Amino acid sequence: MKFNINKLAAMIAFASCLTACSSDDSSPVAEGTSGEVELYFDNGVAGDALLLGSSYTNGNGESLAINRLNYIVSNMVLIKADGSEYVYPKEESYFVISAEGNLKSAMLENIPAGDYTKIRLGLGVDKQRYLQGETAQQSFWDLAAGYEMTWTWSTGYKFINFEGTFTSAQYPQEKIFQVHQGSNTSTDNYREITLSLPTTARVRQGELASIHFKVDANAILDGINKIKLGENMNQAGTASSIMGGENLIKIAENTLQMFAVDHVHNGAGSPH
């Protein structure tokens, strides 16, 4: 019988992987210890990867070339199967995610060791945090401003900054679009989203649990509510801007469908 060393090596590697994964799965929780959780955001458009500058046609019959997708995620809560929650410290719980700036992850530190089955996160900055005042959040305000995620202090944060150009049957010549989602004096557009994890996030000392989100930018305009850029043109007919009003409330509802958890990786590394 001919000996195939390559097959033997493959079998050994497979067996080692099974042993490691099995050991990982049953690793006990050491009380009083903590680990890290990475939230990784993979931006896409209707199932395709988001490539800035590339064109995508949505269900509204408009072709968008996206050149900016920035958003704020916040107020993370990790939830166990029994319903008990770990609320991440509020002062540390605000992150800018930027396709333009290649900011794709939020790192949560000192998470109590345990097995978590759900996550809740906010999209934007909640009213309670905003009302703490500028001094209490100066460093995050400065970070957000650097990614075009603020107006003036009196008008607050942009929760989503979604920009580019578009064409349609009505507007065959390229037009600029800007969607800036935020709260205002009349409407609170901050939203929280709770998602089940497809596999348990096992937080252990010295290890990293990585939760991989798929983010669908198409949902902003082409979600439960269908919002046409061509119906939101300025008086000059040169650009479409959505920064307030009823459509912004509809967009806030759409963004509840913008995030999904694709997979969870437990261990020392965080491949995506």
DSSP letters along 103-159, please? B-EEEEEEEESEEEEEEEEEES--HHHHTT-TGGGHHHHHHHHHTT-B--TTT-B-S
Burial (CB count <10 Å: 0-12, 13-18, 19+), residue 76: buried
Structure tokens at 233: 């043109």
- Mean pLDDT estimate for the chain: 89
Structure tokens at 117: 């089955």
For residue range 149-204, what is the model confidence (pLDDT) as tens digits? 999 888 899 999 999 999 999 999 999 999 999 998 778 999 999 999 999 999 99
For residue range 213-247, what is the model confidence (pLDDT) as tens digits? 999 999 999 999 999 999 999 999 999 999 989 99
Whole-number pLDDT of residue 211: 98
Structure tokens at 187: 């409407």
Whole-number pLDDT of residue 30: 78
Residue 270 pLDDT class (50, 70, 90 cuts): low
Run of H or E residues at 166: strand 160-167
Global pTM reads 0.88
Whole-number pLDDT of residue 184: 80
Run of H or E residues at 269: none
For residue range 35-87, what is the model confidence (pLDDT) as tens digits? 999 999 999 999 999 999 999 999 999 999 999 999 999 999 999 999 999 99
**Is residue 240 within 8 Å of residue 175, measured between CB atoms?**
yes
Cα–Cα distance measured from residue 193 to residue 74, given in angstroms and rounded to the nearest whole number? 10
Cα–Cα distance measured from residue 194 to residue 182, given in angstroms and rounded to the nearest whole number? 20
Strand 175-181 to 239-242 pairing: parallel
